[in-house]
Chain A
Amino acid sequence: MAGSRRRRQLKKQREQAAAIIRVNFVERLPQELLAKIHDHLRFLDRLAFAVVCKTAGHPVPQQLDDTEPWLVFPDETKEEATFFSLAKGRAASARTSDLGTRGHVVLGSSSGWLATADEQAGIHIVDPFTGEHAALPDIRTVSFIRCWLSSGVHFFVDTEPLQKIRYGGQITRYAAMLILDNDFGVPAFATWEDPAAWTVAPARDGVEDAIHHEGWFYSVSSSGAIDAWEHKSGEFTSKVVAPARAMPVVKGFHVGRKYLVAMPDERLAVVLKYIRDEPPRIYQQPKSWACRFKVQVLIDAAHCAWQ
């Protein structure tokens, strides 16, 4: 009998202990802490946590604001798409024709609105939940965008009006640099003095990328050298700013491309793109690849110091 009472007491103690341990976090935690927990979760866990928060009478954590993107899952067979708004914590399926988005591509999202474009370059904004949608002005109303109808619709930039708008006034003095195909890497120049033709310039090795910076054309060669291009008596010639050098090695990767950029502080930098082809995991899997980038900033051209 005494043993039975003792067991009942132990059971009661265990139940009391369990009641203490079973703390209901969500109902008691401040909103900002829920948001912090939310920050550490990935998408599916966020959804599950959002269900728990909602059931506990808490709204979905507040940091899911309007800057959160939309996710759009097009249906492969039906003319339907599922739209998920992280901002609103809601998903909706809708017929794309009802929303006026059939055949559209999604350009972006902001404040709960999706921006889409169709094959004719008509740009629309749409709210998939309410079905509200409106057309924005046609891209062809931009004066330097031209349309070309030939086996489909093609759009291109007419450079002359673009430059007039961008630089103002009439273009009277200009110079342009063109790299003739990545494989050849041959630079060509055209100037206002000879507007009729491109002139090919001699280059020691292939030019991979070039920029116009502080009144000069700079290029990076396949060997990593940086050249500046000088225009004298109708010809462009290069002079070395930084000589060729060995590229840093990234194990398992090879240098795919080099890009030349000017940093905000006006120093030149070379962006090295390293590529590794990934072997297919299963038979007939499409070829995939991985890439990494290294940025080398030229900190002292005179001493060829790179960072």
Chain B
Amino acid sequence: MAAPESGDGNNGAARMVTLISSDNTRFEVEAAAASLSQTLQLTILDGGGGGGDGIPLPNVDSATLSKVLEYCIKHAPAAANGGAPNATAVDRAELERFDNEFVNIDQSVLYSLIMAAHNLEIEGLQSLVAKKVADMIKGKSPMEIRRTLGFPDPTPEEQAEMNAHMLEYGWAYE
């Protein structure tokens, strides 16, 4: 299975690396995009992942890796530009639009993405998914947050504990 196309098509000579998901799917991707992962960066700098070798990622399944690489490919040009200080407003707006759509996903996919961003140490993606979870939390009571984040309904003990904590912070809501 091939990784999504980068879309710019102007650097055919760019170095490619192969990443192997936990379910043994191989993804060929530009080294610059994969290097957004701090975990992979050193291996790639050392010349790893090229040729027929591939870098195994036992903690990331193919569906999640495909999604992660979609993010890396989109953000690689801006990252190569040192955080894109020279990027135009149009470029920035386009990346923002992409980011907003990118995290408009099912919770289980979001969870896999969070773990992958953490394991692969992709700073921008970690921030993006953390912001998404924060947006899900904003303006909600602790009980609503529990429901949003997929907790089962609290046991009587948990309810008592929450009530105690709420008493502690209750003044802030008055």
Contacts and interface: CB of A to CB of B under 8 A. Distances in A.
Contacts of A54: 161, 165
A45 B138 contact: yes
Contact of A21 (B108, B115, B141): B108
B9 interface: no
B169 A47 contact: yes
B126 A52 contact: no
B154 to A, nearest CB: 7
A23 B137 contact: no
Interface string B138-174: 1111100110011110100010011001101101110
Interface string B105-137: 011100100110010000000110011011101
Interface string A1-44: 00000000000000000001111111011101100111111111
Contacts of B150: 21-25
Contacts of B106: 21
B38 to A, nearest CB: 13
- Per DSSP, chain B at the interface is helix
B146 A52 contact: yes
Contact of A90 (B115, B130, B151, B168): B168
A48 interface: yes
A49 B143 CA distance: 10
- Per DSSP, chain A at the interface is helix
Contacts of B151: 22, 24, 26, 52, 56
A39 B133 CA distance: 11
Contact of B139 (A39, A45, A56): A45
Chain A residues touching B, range: 35 or more
A50 interface: yes
A277 B138 CA distance: 33
B99 to A, nearest CB: 14
Contacts of B142: 48-49, 51-52, 55
B123 to A, nearest CB: 10
B141 A26 contact: no
Given A37-B137, A39-B130, A55 B171 contact: no
A91 interface: yes
B137 A48 contact: yes
B137 to A, nearest CB: 6
B129 to A, nearest CB: 8
A266 B114 CA distance: 47
B108 A52 contact: no
Nearest to A92: B168
Interface string A48-72: 1111101110000000000000000
A215 to B, nearest CB: 38
Nearest to A47: B169
B171 A37 contact: no
Interface of B: 106-108, 111, 114-115, 118, 126-127, 130-131, 133-135, 137-142, 145-146, 149-152, 154, 158, 161-162, 165-166, 168-169, 171-173
19 contacts: A21-B107, A22-B150, A23-B107, A23-B108, A24-B152, A26-B149, A33-B118, A33-B130, A37-B137, A39-B134, A44-B173, A45-B134, A45-B137, A47-B169, A49-B137, A52-B145, A54-B165, A55-B158, A93-B171
Interface of A: 20-26, 28-30, 32-33, 36-45, 47-52, 54-56, 73, 82, 84, 90-91, 93
The 4 nearest A-B residue pairs measured at CB: A40-B134, A36-B130, A22-B150, A51-B142
Given A21-B150, A52-B142, A54-B165, 7 more contacts: A21-B108, A25-B133, A26-B151, A45-B134, A48-B140, A73-B171, A84-B172
